[in-house]
Structure formats: structure tokens, C-alpha cells
Structure 1
Amino acid sequence: MTGGTAGAGRGWRVAARDALYGPGGFYRRPEGPGGHFRTSVHASALFARAVAELLCRVDEVLGAPDALDFVDMAAGRGELAGGVLAALPEEVAARTRACVVEVADRPAGLDPRIEWLAEPPRGITGLLFANEWLDNVPVDVAEVDAAGVPRLVLVDGAGAERLGEPVSGAAARWLDRWWPLAGEPGLRAEIGAPRDEAWEDVVAGVERGLAVAVDYWHTADTRPPFGTLTGFRQGRETAPVPDGSCDITAHVALDACALPGGRLLPQRAALRSLGITGARPPLTLASTHPVAYVRALASAGEAAELTAAGGLGDFGWLLQPVGVELDDVLPAD
């Protein structure tokens, strides 16, 4: 809980930015994100297969261009890009330029076909995919004080919080539009404007194709009353401390990020549309082809994890078409 307004401290946006991406920051650590938490990419190779299927659909809608781009934003150690290249048909893979965008150094042993970039490229023709990126775009936090006024939450290097100045200007306008705080003391919100701007910027780099953001999410009718700011370290949720020792994350207001023409849907619906259903193989296969049955059963279990309610299946997908019809890539039904 926050205290009074006295004392030093920085807003959470600046503090988290330095802790995550500054020298010695969390995302520059050698073990990578996979050493601390499990994303859909790490849960199953089926996720990369689904993204490869999506890229193939974009390729078809674009008319099979000579150069097809796949851009993986905030890509960890390049696991998704490698999996997508491996899952693509040979003819499509031969035309695909795979790019990883990441602040950390390129890891040893990465597929040499994958480019490693510090900034997203421009003029993309193909698919830009941002899996669990926007939740790590740092944002400020607001909390309602005893007088009913939303104030910025300040934090020191040990994670101790206090209230700062009243929220004003563009931040106040964002709260009024997307996450109104009703005046009850203690209510909190993450001010998502920097994420909206970050998403708009990377989408502007797509010339033709599709941009997809996948993340923890909420919308106007499901905003959490006390916010979602938290930390992760070695697979466990922990208090967010901006010292570089843990991930600092908050769920994303994906409805605020969406640009005209964008569509929101849960991961389970997106993956099922891409052929990841979690259906069990028929029992008859166990007697006719037992090895194939065991493999199919394992695949069904992985698919079930990716689409599970209360887990990865609840993640949100924001699909943003650029110069194409979204229904031609992923029909609304």
C-alpha cells in the first residue's frame, strides 16, 4: 500500500524502464525470459506452428511476395522465430526474412537465417508478432488518495511506494477515456498511453500484412479495481521491485491499443481458428497405431494447455490488418 505524499521516488514508468532495459536490467540477463517464466512459446512447439500457419495465410493474401517478412517483437532468445521457420513449408521459408527485435545480445547457436535487431524494421510486408511485449512497455500507476484525487504512484529502488502529484494532462485524459477512477480511496490504474503509442508505432512499420499483439489483457468492462502491477522471478510471482532482479509487468488495456479495423479475441479462439484444438485422438488409433496415438495424445495435451480457460487460453490477441482484409486471414467466426 502507498503512504503519504512526502519523500523521494520516481514514477513506475521510469523506474521499470531502467530496471528492465537499462544497463544490467532484467531483460539483459544471460538466462533470458525463459529462465523466469513460461510463455506460450515455451509451453509447446504447437504455438510456433500456429504462428507459421498465420504467416502462410498472410502470405497467400499478399499473393506470395518474393520477400515475406516475419518480425518477432521482444523475442527473448529467438525461440519463436526459430520455431516458425522450422514449421513453414520449404517454399515459404525460402522467401521468409525472419527478424528478431530484442534489447539483449544475440545468443550463440541461433539459426543464422534470423536477423537480430535492436529496433523494429520499417516497410514490413508480412506478419509482425508481439508475444508478451506490451505488458513490459513500462507505464505509470495512479492511485486515488483520501480526498478522491488520482495521484501518480512514486516508487524507490526497494519497491516502497508513496503518492506524488495529481495525475494531469494527457495521462489524466487517458484515464478519463479508458480507465476512469471513481474516487474511492485506494483504487488504482495503470496509465496505458505509452503502450498505445508503442503499438501504433510498430504497426506504422507494416506496409502490408498483419500485426498481432498477444498478452495478458482487460477491456473497459473488466478493468481490475486495484490494477495488475506485479513482478516475476524464477517462475514465481513476486513483489515488483525496480532493481533489475525481477520482471515487472502489468496487464494490457488492449481495447485502448486497438487501431481502426483491429479485432480482439481470446487466444483459445485464435488458436482454434489456426488448427490448434486440443481434441483427443480417437481410441481406435491406440490399437492400430499405438506410437502415433501416444504422440497425438501428447500433442492434444499441449494444445489443451495453450487454449485452457484460466490459463494461456485467456490471453488476448489483438489483430491489426494493414492493407488486407482481416477476414481473409482469420475469419471472424
Structure 2
Amino acid sequence: MTWMRWRPAMEEALYGAEGFYRRPEGPAGHFRTSVHASGLFAGAVARLLGEVDELLGRPPELALVDVGAGRGELLAGVLAAVPAELAGRLRPYGVELAARPPGLPDAVVWTAAPPEGVTGLLFANEWLDNVPLDVAELDEGGVLRYREVDTASGRERPGAAVAEADRRWAERWWPVREPGDFVELGGPRDAAWAGAVATLERGLAVAVDYGHTAGRRPPFGTLAGFRDGREVAAVPDGSRDVTAHVALDAAAAPGVHSLWTTQREALRALGVSGARPPLALASSDPVAYLRALGGAGEAAELTDPAGLGGFGWLAQPVRMPGPPSLAGLAGWQTLVP
């Protein structure tokens, strides 16, 4: 048996030399994200990028930074959706530890870390849930202890008392009171997101993930595994994705205005409604009707509140106003870290 704290175990299982995110089939071989579900998602991001461009005064070079880019599917979709004038000024970056995938447009810069000092849109779709973190449990003596996991079987046991920084994070963001209470210690995710936001000179940073906020923390944690299209045990052995939902209010970068809503509301504001086409179209143009009906089905999947539509969108404008389509949503909640 190999016993490790959850954070280093996740780091090795996901990003080590034989880690899950370095496997040749990529994440799409195991689960569907919004990007894989429909090209409508990339179209919505392209519309958001256009709004950001306008608010920034159409700079000579506009960055699109896709953090956790997978195999570049979102970048390719956005590049295909933006108008030619914007495409000519666009500088797309794929931020990913895996090697550059074949067939990616030549314009895409493939890098292991977000570029510094850029102006534009930084978009992280299902990235923060894969930033490794530790799990802790309150013992009978009132001591918060790290959980250790056997990387082969997934069995767990209590370990050492948590470090002071993790204890303070739990007290601030995810307080535990009863023996046996669990907390997923999100400090590394907060730091990762703050670092990504700080790379923007001006622009908008958006994180999209399953998440929760204060008062709605999951009582039994959210660690899960995914492999071959189904949910499996969260065993950090490199054969599967290991993920945990994100404390989005804690992740919000300090000193930057922070807004949160659901993917359902955000995508609807960006033109992805899921409404069925008018039946009259079936008579006047059957082909167009069937095409619109298929699009409505895809939009419904993206905005389903019990599925992808339940994702949280955390948006943080940096030295620019919020985009009109999103800032005007009645459902926005301001997060104060």
C-alpha cells in the first residue's frame, strides 16, 4: 500500500508522468464537458469574447486564454465562430500540461502556464475542480486532521493535524463542528485562480465549474471519479479523473469585483435558450426546422439545471466593466472574499 495525503495523491494521479490528463485519449474519452456536448457553448464564449473586445476598445491584440484546454476543442470552436475582423487580432492560448494535440490551428499558442500581462478573456472551463486539494476530518478530540488515501485501493485513514494555513481556511470558508465532519481544503484552488486572474493586464476572467458557496457546503464532500463515461470510485491511481466541486466564493480573487451565477442563466444571456423552433417552420422549411430542433436539444442539455446548467460561473472583470449580457442578469450574486 502507498498512503499519501489527498493533494499529492491527486497531483500524481492527474498530472504525473502516467497521469490521467496525459493519457492519449484525453478527457473526452471519459466524460462530456459543455465543450464536448455542443458547439453552442463555444459560440456563447465567442459572443462573450466579442463583448469583452468592445469594452476594451478593440485592442490591436486580444488574448483568449483557455485554462485547462484539454485537447483544444473550445479554442477551435471559438476561432471558427468569431468574425474575421476579430479573428485577425485574436491571440489564442491553450494552457495545458499535456502535449500539444495534433490538428490544432497554427494560431494557438500551447503553454503550461497562463501568459503574463495579456488583455482579453481568460476562460477556465472545468479546471478548478481538478486543481489538487487536501481533505480533512474533525476527530473526536476536536482536531482537524488530513485524510490519507491508499493510491491503489482508495481506502482512507486519518493522518496528521492540518497546518495552520489550512485550519484558518477551514474556519473561514468551511467550518466543521462535529466529529466526523469533512472539509475539502480549497486553499490551493484559491491560489491557482488568483494567479490566473493576476496574469490579465485588463480583461475578464471566468471560471466555470460545479461549485458551492457558504451556507451550501456539501456535508459529506464531493470527491468523485470518472472513467469511460461513468462515475466510479475516487481512487487516485491515474486510470480515472479525480475531481471535487469548487468553493467558488473562496476562490474569488481578492481585490477584484466578483460575480456568480449559474450556467443556465449565463448561457441564456448569451443567446443559448433551448427554446423549440416554431412549428410553422416545419412546413415552410423542414430542413431548417430539423436543424433548429437539434440545436434546441443541445441547448437544453447545456442549460439543464440538474446537469450542465447547474454549473457555477464566477466572473471577475479586471480594469474593465462587466459585460452587459452578464452584468445585467438579475441572478448575479456579488461575492466578497
The answer to whether TM tops 0.5 is: yes
**Equivalent position of 1:287 in the other structure:** 283
| 2:327 counterpart SS class | coil
Question: Is the Cα contact below 8 Å between 2:236 and 2:242 reproduced in 1?
Answer: yes
What's the CA shift for 1:186? Answer: 2.2
Q: Percent of pairs identical after alignment?
A: 62
2:34 equivalent to 1:32: no
For residues 19-62 of structure 1, what are the alpha-carbon distances to aligned partners after superposition, in whole Å with 9 as ceiling and x for unaligned? 11111111100000000110000000000000000000000001
**Equivalent position of 2:258 in the other structure:** 262
**Equivalent position of 1:9 in the other structure:** 3
Number of positions where the alignment pairs a residue of Structure 1 with one of Structure 2: 326
| 2:88 counterpart SS class | helix
- The RMSD of aligned alpha carbons is 1.2
**Equivalent position of 2:81 in the other structure:** 87
2:191 equivalent to 1:197: yes
**Equivalent position of 1:149 in the other structure:** 143
For residues 231-282 of structure 1, what are the alpha-carbon distances to aligned partners after superposition, in whole Å with 9 as ceiling and x for unaligned? 1111111111122111110000001011331101000010011011111111
**Aligned AA (2:169):** W
**Equivalent position of 1:303 in the other structure:** 299
**Equivalent position of 1:232 in the other structure:** 226
TM-score, structure 2 as length reference: 0.94
What's the CA shift for 1:124? Answer: 1.5
| 1:34 counterpart SS class | helix
Question: Is the Cα contact below 8 Å between 1:61 and 1:328 reproduced in 2?
Answer: no
Q: Distance in 2 between matches of 1:145 and 1:263?
A: 35
Match for 2:69 among 58, 66, 75?
Answer: 75
Q: Distance in 1 between matches of 2:10 and 2:264?
A: 30
What's the CA shift for 1:329? Answer: 5.8
TM-score, structure 1 as length reference: 0.95
Q: Distance in 2 between matches of 1:141 and 1:234?
A: 25
2:173 equivalent to 1:165: no
What's the CA shift for 1:150? Answer: 2.0
Q: 1:173 to 1:275 in 2, by over 3 A?
A: same
Superposition pairs for residues 128-139 of structure 1, below 5 Å? 128-139=122-133
What's the CA shift for 1:153? Answer: 0.1
2:314 equivalent to 1:318: yes
**Equivalent position of 1:175 in the other structure:** 170
The runs of 5 or more residues in structure 2 that have no matched partner are: 330-337
What's the CA shift for 1:149? Answer: 2.8
Moved over 3 A (4+): none
The runs of 5 or more residues in structure 1 that have no matched partner are: 1-6
**Aligned AA (2:168):** R
What's the CA shift for 1:331? Answer: 2.5
Match for 2:121 among 118, 122, 127?
Answer: 127
Q: Distance in 2 between matches of 1:258 and 1:238?
A: 30
**Aligned AA (1:119):** A
